[in-house]
Amino acid sequence: MVDLKTEPQSAIDAHGIIGDMRSAALVNDRGSIDFFCWPEFDSPSIFCALLDTPDAGTFQLTPDLPNARREQIYLPDTNVLQTRWLSDAAVVEVTDLLAVSEEVDELPLLIRRVRVVSGQATLHLRCAVRHDYARAKTHTTADDNGVLFSADGQPGLRLVGSHPLPLEENAVVSRFTLAQDEGAEFVLGGEDDPRVVNDCTDLYLERTLKFWRGWISQSNYRGRWREMVNRSALALKLLTSRKHGAIIAAATFGLPESPGGERNWDYRYTWIRDASFTVYAFMRLGFVEEANAYMRWLKGRVSDCCGQPTKINILYGIDGRQELPETTLDHLRGHGGAQPVRVGNEAFDQIQLDIYGELMDAVYLVNKYGEAISHEGWKHTVEVVDQVCEIWNRKDVGIWEMRGEQHHFLHSRLMCWVALDRAIRLASKRSLPAPFARWDQTRQAIYADIWSNFWNEERGPLVRFVAATDPRWLATLEAIQKSLVRDGMVYRYRNDDSQIDGLQGTEGAFAACSFWYVECLARAGQVEKAHLEFEQLLRYANPLGLYAEEFDSQARHLGNTPQALSHLALISAATFLDRKLSGEKTVWQP
């Protein structure tokens, strides 16, 4: 007998993701949706069992096949997920999707379809909506149009199904039996959404499959590891706001970077740095429209700050809002007991000077391969670059968002150089007016500062600042290998006893850094080693080809998932390594 109320938390890497580019939900390999924020990516959750128990909200749909083998697959070239159970008694499959609607403002529509492929099976369903991160009192009522979930000050949701939906303990709890080739379907959406009906799921499924397959078919990548590259691209597209063009860092909040630790952040926002890197990945694969849409969104953020004493934030809400106050959800136990569970992110107010480099590199590349910059856009850009000339030599918290003291970071200094370099290149290529003398003088000053103050003869200290085979860079790469690499998994830094980042404990190896390491090896001519390391990293994906932010010592996933930075780094490493292995001339490209 299945007891859905006591289902334990699932591992981070035991999940697939579905989404409609407005919100996203995680589905574990038991058939439970244990994480879903509605109606936006960064809205309060309605299902949050992943960070607590089923009492925090869940939508469970599972057969009574206790000894069955479970597996998850995506329908080919889509973000439509299928969870399957295989046993002697029956084979059952549950297909989950968030329907891609014709209009961007339509509310998310969750569709769950179950089918018995072979044999006969009894299915158990439990849908317990818990509004506002399970803080609000949700009321569950049945009427002629299904079941309504409502709470004061929260959006109402309605569930309909092809089978009866009886209520039990403020949830829908149902048990039904299906024979071979029989199926059932359930739809959850806005309480007044006319699409929340049972008789149109075939149409919505067909439209959603067509959308994802039509989109990925535009990829120009034909090299090795194409399936993994395409899956990464589909994950990145799923994390992109269809309405705003912003790209969120990850779909989740509060998942720990170390088991039981305090590093539990909210990543449902747009980081200038991460999103700019994602633009590179899209452009590598030929998805120029996504890059253009993001730059249009970014233009709004730059124009918000120019002409005012305020700075460019390092992250924003997907709708462009600037303040993201951080609070803790102390009523949630956390994943694996990791507390506190945070929503919002105080990093929005940090100083991270490297973002100017990522910003200007993205502007440069989009101008080269996408839409040309406008007159107003260039005026704002000049103001940003002039600001870099004033602040490049200040301390900051660096790319890894240290919550301790500020320092002079090499990466921040280097990316300020990139900002000046790309601005000069762009102005020269487009014949745009600019204070060339000042910008070039500052660029040279940063260059001299890096070689004077950041080179250590004993340890060794990318972006076209130093050649990949330069002896000093090779010494730096060797130092990274000795101090930060463990079996191909690369740590961002070693916190150890110094607590340099202002937090207790340590964190896992960083997936993006691990893929960047592969690319660095390949660029340095160590192609055979890079190839082996890359193949190992591919084995560390979850069964669906997804990556979270970090790896533990056994390469299990840690942190928020799926992580955009991890997937874009995979794309970058795969595309460059494939060219090297094919013997192609590695002409620089985004």
Give me the pLDDT at residue 527, please.
Answer: 96
**For the chain, domain boundaries:** 4-215
Give me the pLDDT at residue 310, please.
Answer: 43
* Residue 169 neighbours by CB under 8 Å, 6+ apart: none
The alpha carbon dihedral of 82, 127, 201, 38 has a sign of negative
Side-chain-facing half-sphere of 424: CA atoms under 13 Å: 17
Give me the pLDDT at residue 1, please.
Answer: 60
* Residue 6 neighbours by CB under 8 Å, 6+ apart: 54
Alpha helices by DSSP H, listed for 49-143, are 131-134
Closest to 274 in 3D by CA, of 575, 517, 562 = 562
Backbone angles phi, psi at 554, to 5 degrees: -105, 15
Q: Tokens representing 376?
A: 């107003």
The alpha carbon dihedral of 162, 168, 169, 173 has a sign of negative
Give me the pLDDT at residue 460, please.
Answer: 45
Structural class in CATH, domain 4-215 = mainly beta
pLDDT in single tens digits along all 590 residues of the chain: 677 889 999 999 999 999 999 999 999 999 999 999 999 999 999 999 999 999 999 999 999 999 999 999 999 999 999 999 999 999 999 999 999 999 999 999 999 999 999 999 999 999 999 999 999 999 999 999 999 999 999 999 999 999 999 999 999 999 999 999 999 999 999 999 999 998 889 999 999 999 999 999 999 999 999 999 999 999 999 999 999 999 999 999 999 999 999 999 999 999 988 767 777 889 889 999 998 898 888 888 876 555 554 468 889 999 999 999 999 999 999 999 999 999 999 887 777 888 899 889 888 888 888 788 888 889 989 999 999 999 999 988 877 666 667 778 888 899 999 999 999 999 999 999 999 999 999 999 999 998 888 766 554 444 446 677 778 778 888 888 888 999 889 998 766 645 555 566 678 899 999 999 999 999 999 999 999 999 999 999 999 999 999 999 999 999 999 999 999 999 999 999 999 999 876 554 43
Q: Tokens representing 272?
A: 């200038």
What is the spatial distance between Cα 368 and Cα 371, in angstroms, rounded to a whole number? Answer: 8
What is the spatial distance between Cα 441 and Cα 454, in angstroms, rounded to a whole number? Answer: 20
With 0-12 / 13-18 / 19 or more C-beta atoms within 10 angstroms meaning exposed / middle / buried, residue 92 is buried
